A and B are shown apart, each in its own frame.
Chain A
């Protein structure tokens, strides 16, 4: 793991992986959207059930993304690794987007099904808290100018906020909520018919690939941005040295 954490090596690996991953994402999205469109409407919910194919993968990714941020934060705090820093930083905006998508699609789905856009039950509230945590992380990154200090401050906050992820996952089991309990990942096997389960899983795979494409690309950009920054600082320093040295010659 440490061996692959060298930024230069990472750039090479990411360059090699990205075209394949992008192709896979496109194929999975085409297949997933096709399967979604031919999936039978639910006998109770009609066509609104199709909101699920966006909603559920977004919600999974919102949690996975926070988990990745927390894991990277542990890496950046313990090993002080710049790449872990970059990974934690770039995952935040992507996570916000997926959390927002999950909240919006959920509330659009809630209106026809529950009769309301929003209820204050445990699952919805804890996802909203996740959204606020993401916003807090973004704000902290922006408020501190020195990137390495910002990275470690954000890492501490991310690890503290990680308490929320298991709460989201198990909120539907611990409290009786309007939101339905886990139906796909269960000990007794999924409680969803295969005609809907298969498109859902394809969409989930597509979303996951999309996340990794975006994340890898964002990490590459961030590394390049930091290099440009370092080069500029070096240039300024050299220019200052020349100016200071000139009168002495």
Chain B
């Protein structure tokens, strides 16, 4: 456990000192959300109706942009191999790195979402729910994304391939994230049902994704 926490702390510290990555993801999030009203026209009613979906889709894209950094740098400079030789099993290493990615990317993106919600005229009662669902859903985004990152490690054109592999797996998160927010705003459907499924998706991916990641990393570290 001590090694696990120190690995999380190391990754957080690295991403903090590197700066760049999280700034880019947040900037991308802002640009995508800002560009949509320009394409769709500034009708506030329309924007308010599609706001939860736009915020979720843009969040997934922004997270996708940063997800290949989970393993990439450590793979390039050989740190990953050193870690794999250490006392921590590979599953725990990947879990620690995904956790660090969630804290350093998932949480900042989630906290930016309500600010961007203002741009899209998001319904007032939806703000708290939006943050809550994103807080619950983003761990799944990091953990599932890590599978793609591990599979495409060291490949040319890995980034494009990564999005092709990971976005289909993100679809359930998107569906239940958006439907639980819209349930609060307007929907006849129940908030609890979608929200609980979202929680289940997150928990299942936290448990299962490190296994798949570790298997994929083993291939790359031979």
Chain A interface residues toward B at CB < 8 A? 77, 125, 129, 132-133, 135-136, 139-140, 143-144, 149, 152-153, 156-157, 159-161
Interface readout for B132-148 with A: 1 if CB under 8 Å, 0 if not?
00000000000000010
Assess A153 versus B168: contact at CB under 8 Å? Given A77-B215, A140-B161, A160-B212.
no
B17 close to chain A: CB less than 8 A: no
Interface residue stretch chosen among B25-33, B112-120, B149-157: B149-157
Nearest residue (CB) in B for A164 is: B168
B-side interface residues toward A, CB under 8 Å? 147, 151-152, 155-158, 161, 164-165, 167-169, 171, 175, 212, 215-216, 219
Q: Secondary structure of the B side of the interface?
A: helix
User: Given A160-B147, A161-B169, is A153 in contact with B164 using a C-beta cutoff of 8 Å?
Assistant: no
User: Among the listed B165, B171, B212, B219, which residue makes an inter-chain contact with A136, where contact means beta carbons less than 8 Å apart?
Assistant: B165
On whether the beta carbons of A139 and B164 are closer than 8 Å, the reply is yes
- B164 near A135 with CB under 8 A, answer yes
Q: Which of A132, A159, A161 has the most CB of B within 10 A?
A: A132
Hey, which chain B residues are within 8 Å of A133, CB to CB?
A: 168
Complex Cα gap A139–B156 (Å): 12
B165 touches A156 (CB 8 A): no
Q: Assess the A140–B168 pair: CB atoms within 8 A.
A: no
Asked if residues A139 and B165 are in contact (CB atoms below 8 Å), the reply is yes
- Complex Cα–Cα for A68 and B147 (A): 22
Complex: A99 Cα to B185 Cα, angstroms: 36
The reply to whether B168 and A157 contact each other, CB–CB distance below 8 Å, is no
Q: Which of B156, B157, B168, B212 contacts A132 (CB 8 A)?
A: B168
Closest CB-CB distance, B53 to chain A, in whole Å? Answer: 12
Chain A residues whose C-beta falls within 8 Å of the C-beta of B171 in the assembled complex: 125, 129
Given A136-B168, A160-B147, also A153-B219 (CB < 8 A): yes
CA distance A153 to B219 in the complex (A): 8
A23 to chain B, nearest CB (A): 39
Most buried by B among A129, A135, A139, A143: A143
Q: Which of A129, A132, A157 contacts B151 (CB 8 A)?
A: A157
Q: What are the residues of chain B within 8 A of A157 when measuring CB–CB?
A: 147, 151, 165
CB distance from B210 to the nearest CB of A (A): 12
A residues in contact with B216, CB < 8 Å: 153, 156
B147 in contact with A156 (CB, 8 Å) = yes
CA distance A153 to B213 in the complex (A): 10
Per the bound structure, the CA–CA distance linking A182 and B171 in Å amounts to: 24
